[in-house]
Amino acid sequence: MKRESLRLSCQYNARGTQANLAREDRIYAAILALLAGCYSAQVFTPLRINNDAVILLSVAESAARHGGFLFHGRTTLYPPGYPALLASLLRMGAAHTWVIVAINAIFLFLGMLAARYILTVAFFHEPRYALRVCAVSLLSFVFIIFFTIPLTDFPFFCLAMCCLASMEHILRMRVDGRFWLWLTGTLILLLVSIATRRVGLALIPAFLWMAISHSTVKTYLQAMSRRRVLVVIGSLAFVVIFAIGWTAAKLNVSLRDFESTIQGHTLAYAVSSIVDFRLRELGQITVNVPFLALPKFAQQMVPWAGALSLTAIIAGLFLKRKTLGPSDAFAIGYLAILSAWPLYDPRLWLPLIPLLISYCALTGAYIAARHRRMPGELVAVYLTVYSVMGLVWLASSTMITFSRSAFLTMYVPRNEFGPTYCAVLGACKGGFDPKAVDQNAAHLLRLYK
């Protein structure tokens, strides 16, 4: 009787667990559907711009008029990929705000599908956990705020995730005709990614890791002598260095960013600034609130939140050391580039957010396995607060999208081009300084309406 009771109890508990998991899956599916609807609704927004968007839109106009990829007659540090897309829209007469945001939506959803595949095969091996990471990523204020602005982030996010998903798939394929087709497609995605954003160079280590990690290559290397292996690796390293140098030269990747930022400062100051930038950016992403929107006492805690997240990310990478794949090589390469980048902007982390969340999840799961109750409760509280903040930012963005005439009072006063918006869209209640109007930005607001 006792054995029978125990068996029935186990069956009941298993059914209860399955029912809870199914309920959670439905909840996350509903959340993803809600988020997809809210993001799609942003196509009705008026054009939102910042400094980077003004440069990209101007370069696209110059290219569309056969003037080259120039800004005020000079080359820029931006690769030509995204401006070329905007230029093609201008030539077709389709460079409207809703079209640009709709393209961002397509890039976002394709990127999330690719990220779901990566997370399923390389991290969690269960689709439900990958869906949760995607939902948490979509609730990040970085995704929400920059989704409506014509920038390179979402095109690059899509291209990078699709490239990594292809690499993860190739790693699990046999060498046959389909293998070479996939490899060719991956190389094309890699090159287009680099032509969209310079940080796409981080995909090169991922590609190399995929190549040397493939079972066929491993078998071939094991059959070779040590001298031949060293010659092959040395030759490959030379080709890669040459390719990176050539690509950097062609895409105008120079040291101007570093020179303009570091000029007049010591190396120690530059290093401390970069560390402060990265911790503040990561801290904002962790608390899911932009730095300037936080009260002053909370702003002092942001770098500590960033340091905690960075520790969890590094710990997650360490826990995954025995199963490192192309996605992990990309993350390591991307983090290495950011560790040397002297500019400040939270959106620099956008293409990496799903992977960062996954590494933190691995660290959290490891801690929870040792301390079962408290970490789980803390994570639940944190995710609740994080999600609420994300929904607040999404609701705010949606209100701005459908604000119509109230756009001048809801969005414009907080934008650096406030006087320009007032001059183009109509007189603001508080008036504006005509001298502060950026004529180039005003022209763009009229062109891409």
Whole-angstrom CA distances from 11 to 14, 16, 22, 24 are 5, 9, 16, 20
Flag whether pLDDT at 122 surpasses 70: yes
Amino acid 87 reads: A
Number of CB atoms found within 10 A of residue 71's CB: 19
Q: DSSP letter string over 275-340?
A: HHHHHHHHHHHHHTS-GGGS-HHHHTTHHHHHHHHHHHHHHHHHHTGGG--HHHHHHHHHHHHHTT
pLDDT value at position 257? 57
Amino acid 420 reads: T
| pLDDT tens digits, 41-74 | 999 999 999 899 999 999 999 999 988 888 888 8
Query: Exposed e or buried b for every residue in 99-126, given b needs 16+ CB within 10 A?
Result: ebbebbbebbbbbbebbbbbbbbbbbee
* Per-domain residue ranges of the chain: 31-402
Question: Which residues fall within 8 angstroms of residue 140, CB to CB, at 6 or more apart?
Answer: 285, 288, 353, 390
| pLDDT tens digits, 164-184 | 999 999 988 888 878 889 989
What's the whole-number average pLDDT of the chain?
Answer: 83
| pLDDT tens digits, 289-341 | 998 888 888 888 999 999 999 999 999 999 998 889 999 999 999 999 898 88
